[in-house]
Amino acid sequence: MLITETIQALLVPLSLLLLLPSETVAATLGICYGRVANNLPPTSEVVNILKTNGISNVRIFNPDPVTLQSFSGTGINLMTGVPNEVLPSLASGTPASALQWLQTNIFAHIVPSQIRYIAVGNEVLLKDPFYAPHVVPAMVNIYQALKTLNLDNTIKLSSPQAASVLSKSYPPSLGAFNPSLRSVLLPLLNFLRETESPFMVNVYPYFSYTSSTWNHISLDYALFRSNDMVQDGTLMYGNLFEATIDAIVHAIEKEGFAEVGVVVSETGWPKGGGEAASAENALAYNENVVRRVVGNVGTPKRPGVGIEVYLFDLFDENGKSGDECEKHFGIFGLDGIKAYDLRFNSGN
């Protein structure tokens, strides 16, 4: 990183003003609070951990009443999820029934001013394609419900997708969505443009590295320490994180939705349980992501256009299924002590 960028990263606060394609918003560094575990500390302790480390934006995956109540009045902003399995009922209902769902499951437990986003489903196209046709209809009903409450301008809706929605990602300028998913993605993008909401994507260079065929992705490229730059036209890429984001941006632009910004709704690196999974590598990855967010670095395609990012994960989740590494993304131990010395801003 350039010396000037390093100085900038040390001086600027966590929230910065930046220019997204459609409007000026605050650049945000947040963290995901996954709860698929049976040994997590009480949420009241979690709030203290977050405040101690200057983290004021959190993503939760389900609108759990106790969790929401614990965050109420703390000043911490939330992205709260709508579970995939709820999508059919929200889609087939009315704005009035969506309003009732919001009131019962979210607003009865926390003031609306603390809700920054509602994430309608998570990686539906990858994990639960059965629910795919219900995503946008559910979002439309929720949006109309928010409009009834005059909250449509302050609470934005999106539906986080895996980066695998791309059929092409290399080089980034060839980024394109999987044609088989366009029937869902195009209405989603249209909704996002009309409501001035971002496209959310979960970006995991770790999994790209470990699953790459013939090892064409190097560990150094995934960990921001490659000396070999990848040239794409006039642009140069030194890491997979920025290359993936720009591939998404190119794919969105190809579909005619250049106004839609991108939010990284999850990204992280495991510290155990798999190839190249270590605290050292997790620190190397996450600190470079943090530096780019706090320093308002942007990407080669959109330099200086800050990226809103949510790091994954607050704690290890011992109830996660899948590969063993899925359980070991936690940045903090259960005692609230960092598993490695990641600084979220200049003061932590």
Catalytic residue IDs: 123, 266
Which amino acid, 169? S
Cα–Cα nearest to 261, from 221, 301, 312, 288: 301
Q: For residue 151, what are the CA distances in angstroms to 68, 89, 121, 147? A: 18, 22, 20, 6
Cα–Cα nearest to 138, from 116, 151, 119, 114: 119
Distance CA 295, CA 219 (A): 24
Distance CA 23, CA 260 (A): 10
CB atoms within 10 A of CB 183: 10
Which amino acid, 295? G
Which residues are bridge partners to 308 per DSSP? 263
Distance CA 328, CA 207 (A): 13
- Grouping H, G, I as helix, E, B as strand and the rest as coil, residue 226 is coil
Distance CA 196, CA 153 (A): 9
Cα–Cα nearest to 87, from 42, 43, 140, 25: 140
Distance CA 109, CA 335 (A): 26
Going by C-beta distance under 8 Å and a sequence separation of 6 or more, which residues neighbour residue 11?
346
Decide if 112 contacts 93 (C-beta within 8 A).
Answer: no
Q: Give the gyration radius of the chain's Cα atoms.
A: 19
- Grouping H, G, I as helix, E, B as strand and the rest as coil, residue 110 is coil
Going by C-beta distance under 8 Å and a sequence separation of 6 or more, which residues neighbour residue 221?
209, 228, 230, 238, 239, 240
* The pair of three-digit structure tokens given for residue 214, joined into one six-digit string: 């013939």
